[in-house]
Amino acid sequence: MGDYLIVGGGMTAAAAARGIREVDATGSIAILGEEPHRPYARPPLSKALWQGKPEESVWLELPAGVELLSGRRAIAIDRKERRVLDDRGAAHGYRKLLLATGGLPRRLPYGEGRIIYYRKLDDYRALRALKGERVAVIGGGFIGSEIAAALAQNGKKVTMIFPDSGICARAFPRDLSDFVTDQYRKKGVEVLAGEGVKDAGVTTASGRRIEVDAIVAGIGIAPNVDLARQAGLQVSDGVEVDESLRTSDPEIFAAGDVANFYNPALGRRVRIEHEDNANTMGAAAGRSMAGAPTKYTHLPFFYSDLFEFGYEAVGDLDSRLQTEAEWKDPFREGIIHYLAEGKVRGVLLWNTWGQVDRARELIGRPRR
Ligand SMILES: Cc1cc2nc3c(=O)[nH]c(=O)nc-3n(C[C@H](O)[C@H](O)[C@H](O)COP(=O)(O)OP(=O)(O)OC[C@H]3O[C@@H](n4cnc5c(N)ncnc54)[C@H](O)[C@@H]3O)c2cc1C
């Protein structure tokens, strides 16, 4: 029986392996991952790799002696025997198990095989290999907006299609979202806001036919909870964990995009789909698994780059909340506070750097 088994193979898995090694220098660690690659960073797939960084820059460091079982999917957990079965019929024993299975892209009810649901290194490679120039990007949230900007910067003719009023309209206040949408149009991106898609042709909901060479969809993810469900673990929006990142089975932990945890600053259970969460929570889970229980109270930040604009943010970025903007230069540099019941729930640092810790301190505090 191995000591530590990590099911996943993404950023959380890599961070967990490092966390385990901080505490246990000799225990055996195996990472079982479905993708045919060693763990890599996902954020560059929609940013740095389109701005000239080499593909090799995505590979993540792993501590010495980690066994990589790549290209295998875990299909069942036998909790009684403490082993995980994979799709090749092999069984992998564990003393402590981590579920770091992330999320699966939401899919549209048509165009199976034609649409690239942008999530993985192989999706990046497929899009890079594209011969044609015309790309439809379905979705105007974090992934859609980043990949549309990246493609436009690489000479592609991009049409964005999404139902909201503007780019990142669910996160940014209306005036900022409108400004960003306008900037995209000025950069040559055709933005069809408030629009749906009827088929993978592409025909829009209002009946316009758009000829494209590729379709990329970024319409969100759903936590990959199949394995946890099969094992009878407590699952809601994600796999539920306690403050030490244990699931309802004390020998099984969960972290990263798939985990649902209580965050004290926000005062509720959350599931967070960002890099800082994957890295920090993964490392904390690793330490807990190795016998150094680590309370996960961290409030993760996230970041994005859209053409010449960039931002960092913490907390709830929900445009339905009341917002207050402090602009140094309108829509180009400033800070936006998201408020509910007089308290700060989220902070958006727009082209404003080095203030994440200060922003974190504000969350949950009354807004003066
Ligand atoms: C294109 C892109 C850009 C992003 N940009 C940013 C950004 O700018 N800022 C930011 O903060 N965050 C960003 N993110 C989000 C960030 O990358 C994720 O939060 C992070 O990757 C989550 O890591 P994870 O390991 O928990 O899950 P995942 O990355 O989803 O990895 C889970 C892995 O588990 C594997 N797996 C699932 N089920 C099984 C199974 N049963 N058996 C074996 N393997 C399995 C999957 O194949 C996958 O490889 C971006 C994400 C994408 C896709």
Tell me the pLDDT tens digit for each residue of 29-67.
999 999 999 999 999 999 999 999 999 999 999 999 999
Is residue 127 situated within a structural domain? yes
Assess if residue 296 is contained within a domain: no
Residue nearest to atom 31 of ligand 1 (CA): 10
Same domain assignment for residues 201 and 122? yes
* Strand runs labelled E in 175-248: 190-193, 197-199, 203-204, 214-217, 221-223, 235-236, 238-240
100 and 10 in one domain? yes
163 and 94 part of one domain = no
Are residues 140 and 73 both part of a single domain? no
Q: Give a yes or no: residue 206 inside a domain.
A: yes
- 200's CB contacts (< 8 A; 6+ apart) are 108, 110, 111, 114, 115, 215
For residue 101, which amino acid is it?
T
Number of compact structural domains in the chain: 3
Q: Please state, in angstroms and rounded to a whole number, the distance separating the CA atoms of residues 232 and 241.
A: 14
Is 143 touching ligand 1 by the criterion CB < 6 Å?
Answer: yes
Angle at 119 between CA 218 and CA 317, to 5 degrees: 55
Closest protein CA for atom 41 of ligand 1: 74
Could you tell me if 273 and 241 lie in one domain?
yes
Q: Are strands 235-236 and 238-240 parallel, antiparallel or unpaired?
A: antiparallel
How confident is the model at residue 164, as a pLDDT?
97
- Tell me which of 18, 32, 42, 49 to substitute to probe ligand 1's pocket, judged by most ligand atoms within 8 Å of the beta carbon: 42
Dihedrals φ, ψ of 91, to 5°?
A: -115, 140
* The predicted structure's pLDDT at residue 368: 67
Domain housing 320: 308-362
Do 257 and 201 share a domain, yes or no? Answer: no
275 lines ligand 1 (CB under 6 A): yes
Q: Is 240 found in the same domain as 212?
A: no
Write out residues in the chain with pLDDT < 50, as ranges. none
**Residue for token digits 């220098």?**
25
Pocket test residue of 55, 85, 224 for ligand 1, highest count of atoms within 8 A of CB? 224
Task: Tell whether 131 and 211 lie within a shared domain.
Answer: yes
Helix residue ranges per DSSP H, the chain = 11-23, 121-128, 142-153, 174-186, 226-230, 275-289, 356-362
Domain of residue 243, CATH code: 3.50.50.60
**How far are the Cα atoms of 74, 158, 160 from residue 194, in angstroms, in the given order?**
40, 17, 11
